[in-house]
Amino acid sequence: MYSTNENIFAYGLLMIEFWPTGAILTYPTIGTVIIDDSDSPFKFSLRIGLRIVLYVYVLCFVYGEYNEIKDVGCTSYVSSCWNLIDILNYALFVVGGVYWVRIYT
């Protein structure tokens, strides 16, 4: 979760451990991350570079999915729910990338 007023991210993690005796233990964790907004050229270049690396990484996955569609056929590919979730995930990355390019150009 992100708060624009405080420029802070909050995250939660819940780990659950199931013991062989039947006991269930939970380990909740809540943390915060403050994003440094200083405008140094190095940090800006680093952010841009890391985003480019991320999108190249995602494009490699998209290429893998394209090869899978070619191998198994479109009908067989779409019949799996996980493949539809993958397509939705990649579509969201594309939308985020287009939005990011529109902001920085």
- Number of domains composing the chain: 2
Look at residue 99 in the predicted model and tell me its pLDDT.
86
- Least confidently predicted of 1-5, 56-60, 91-95: 1-5
| CA distance linking residue 105 with residue 100, whole number of Å | 9
Query: Mean pLDDT score of the chain, rounded to an integer?
Result: 87
Q: What is the pTM of this model?
A: 0.58
- Supply the range of the domain harboring residue 10: 2-34
> Same domain for 48 and 84?
yes
> Same domain for 13 and 30?
yes
Q: What residue type is 71 in one-letter code?
A: D
pLDDT in tens, 4-32: 677 788 989 999 999 999 999 999 999 98
> Same domain for 67 and 89?
yes
> Same domain for 22 and 46?
no
Determine the 3-state secondary structure of 66 from DSSP.
helix
